Amino acid sequence: MSTVAAGDHHDHPESPYSIKRWLFTTNHKDIGTLYLWFAFIMFLIGGVMALVIRTELFQPGLQFVDPQFFNSMTTMHAIMMIFGVVMPAFTGLANWLIPMMIGAPDMALPRMNNWSFWILPFAFAMMLSTLFMDGGGPAGGWTLYPPLTLQTGDALPFVILSMHFMGLSSIMGAINVVATVLNMRAPGMTLMKMPLFVWTWLITAYLLIAVMPVLAGGITMLLTDKYFGTSFFNAAGGGDPVMFQHIFWFFGHPEVYILILPSFGVVSSIIPTFARKPLFGYASMVYATGAIAFLSFIVWAHHMFTVGMPLAGELFFMFATMLIAVPTGVKIFNWIATMWRGAMTFETPMLFALGFIVMFSIGGFSGLMLALAPVDFQYHDTYFVVAHFHYVLVPGSIFAIIAAVYYWLPKWCGNMYSEGLGKTHFWLSTIFVNLTFFPMHFVGLAGMPRRIPDYALQFSDYNMMATIGAFGFGLSQLLFLVLVIKAIRSGNKATSQVWEDAEGLEWTLPSPAPYHSFSTPPAIK
């Protein structure tokens, strides 16, 4: 920031070097930066938890941790990665990019923006502190199914309160995105001219607003069941434990699209740039995103095929779930048609985007298999499911976030990153992510249940393989940290367009982007 012309007061934060700048900032770029660094720190913490899990599973037998702590690790790892990494990282990207992409000076609700970020460190500090409480951290899985979750010790009310905070933060972030996109577009930026990243985030924001309160309701009912004598989920008192699962997954399934839709937007930005060809089927991309969002509300019980639903319920949720393959397929085909007869180069963001397409599709294939209810009786709650959702979340969402960072980093800090190291990061990540998660398909199909600290001998080789992969993947991400810090501190100066064929309003701004984006609205072609 200090390199920007000193005479122009408006291009400067009020107090560029003090902690107050970050505490009180209402600037969309500062808040975006805070979100992204927060997500990275949580990524390291959640990653260490994953490594605890993988270390215990390196060999059969109990070696390192108590089974209760192991369950606590699987629970916390999921909560950290979902609520602490992927969601904040996407909100960070939304903060940085949406105002620049639609020609706005900032987000619509800057003070709320500050609040929605600063809730998060407190929420996660509280969540992590439960590990040291009487009875240990939450160990009933991130899905919090009663009655098991009600056996949690002192940690339970703290876990629930911190999840309320996380929900509050994401709802406010979502309201801010909706208000910004609907009110602050530059004249001429019609909805169907918006970049797909903005579209996917707009739809994601509506999903968040729709389902986070449902989660809040469900976990509050857990709280009253535990402490205030209600029996929502207790059959002995006239309730039903399975009702919690319906409530949870009515939130939970849209939630998984919340974790992936912005990735579709990122990939739809990157592929056309490096293929030097406009995105194929823009309108069908928008409609496909809308269709996926709609379907996400009517497929929740495919997470519950084994709970004993009536046959008609099983069939409905099976058919609805299989339908999702259609709009998702449309997206994949559109990306490939964008690449077709383009003139491609393979800079790091493009590599991560291509990796995304291939490995997200692998996760999609196992998703299609899981949708078949009778076969799901064999897959359900095994490592096959673990492999499936890690394929869509790690080389899916996480790869898209990494691709986005490489793609827009020169715009954010004004310097290019090291292309050679970036490619090394891509190949290391791709090798190890597959070494970690591909063998999980095998042990899952061969009969290994998920969430167990110890396993039968026939699963040992592939578990060992997965553990080696997990350490490799974790360590590779430190290279990413080094790369980003190097680019922030030094590196070749980036031009304003950065990439030869990048299109969009953000590339009309200088690099680094000025503190306030568009004080006067840009002209839209």
Partner 1 sequence: MFAIKRLNAWLGLAFISVVSGSALAAGQPINMTPGVTDISAEVYDMHMIAFWLCVVIAIIVFGVMFYSIFAHRKSRGVTPATFHESTTIEAIWTIIPFVVLIALSIPATKTLIDMYDTSDYDMTVKITGYQWLWHYEYVEDGVDFHSKLHTPNSQINNDEEKGENYLLEVDNELVLPVGKKVRFLITSNDVIHAWWVPDLAVKKDAVPGFINEAWARANEPGIYRGQCAELCGRHHGFMPVVVRVVPEAEYKQWVVENAKPESATEYAAISE
- Is residue 479 involved in binding partner 1 (CB under 8 A)? no
Residue from 181, 387, 175 nearest 265 by CA: 181
Identify residues 435-454 at the interface with partner 1 (CB under 8 A): 435, 438-439, 441-442, 445-447, 449-454
User: Closest Cα to residue 357, out of 321, 392, 406?
Assistant: 392
CB of 435 to partner 1, least distance (A): 6
DSSP code of residue 452: -
Burial of 376 (0-12, 13-18, 19+ CB in 10 A): buried
Q: How far is the CB of 453 from partner 1 (least distance, A)?
A: 5
**Catalytic residue list contains 129:** no
CA distances from 287 to 281, 291, 292 (A): 10, 6, 9
* Shortest distance (Å) from residue 67 CB to partner 1: 5
420 binds partner 1 (CB under 8 A): yes
**Least CB distance from residue 412 to partner 1, whole Å?**
24
Binding of residue 240 to partner 1 (CB under 8 A): yes
State both tokens at 161: 């309160």
Q: What angle do CA 413, 502, 103 make, to 5 degrees?
A: 70
- 14 contacts partner 1 (rule: CB under 8 A): no
Task: Provide the minimum distance between the beta carbon of 430 and partner 1 in the complex, in angstroms, as a whole number.
Answer: 6
d(CA 4, CA 203): 36
Residues 97-126 that bind partner 1 (CB under 8 A): none
* Catalytic hit among 28, 253, 277, 425: 253
CB neighbourhood size of 132 (10 A): 9
On whether the CB atoms of residues 64 and 15 are closer than 8 A, the answer is no
- In the range 272-331, which residues lie near partner 1 by CB under 8 A? 275-284, 306-308, 311, 314-315, 318-319, 322-323, 325-326, 329-330
Query: Which range binds partner 1 by CB under 8 A, 86-94, 197-205, 460-468, 507-515?
Result: 460-468
Instruction: Exactly one of 25, 74, 268, 273 is catalytic; name it.
Output: 268
Output 13 or 147, the one with its CB closest to partner 1. 147
Enumerate residues 164-183 that contact partner 1 by CB under 8 A. Answer: none
Instruction: Give which of 101, 91, 76 is closest to 159, Cα–Cα.
Output: 76
**Which residue among 45, 126, 175, 368 contacts partner 1 (CB under 8 A)?**
368
Nearest-angstrom CA–CA distance, 31 and 205:
17
Per the residue annotation, which of 35, 201, 249, 257 is the catalytic one? 257
* Cβ nearer to partner 1, comparing 458 with 490: 458
> Which tokens go with 158?
């703290």
Whether 450 is catalytic is yes
Would you say 239 or 521 has its CB closer to partner 1? 239
CB count in 10 Å sphere of residue 66:
12
- Whether 331 is a known active-site residue: answer yes
Q: What distance separates the 2 farthest-apart alpha carbons in the chain?
A: 72
378 to 407, contacts with partner 1 by CB under 8 A?
A: 378, 380-382
Q: Is 496 a catalytic residue?
A: no
- Catalytic residue at 276? no
170 tagged catalytic: yes
| 381 belongs to the catalytic site | no
Contact predicate 321/296, CB 8 Å: no
Of the candidate spans 8-16, 123-131, 270-278, 404-412, the one that interacts with partner 1 by CB under 8 A turns out to be: 270-278
Nearer to partner 1, 169 or 382 (CB): 382
Instruction: Give the interface segment with partner 1, choosing from 172-180, 427-435, 487-495, 511-519 (CB under 8 A).
Output: 427-435
Four-residue CA torsion sign, 199, 92, 477, 41: negative
What sign for the dihedral angle of Cα 98, 103, 105, 108? negative
CA distance 94 to 100: 10
Q: Which residues are catalytic?
A: 77, 106, 142, 169-170, 253, 255, 257, 268, 302-303, 328, 331, 450
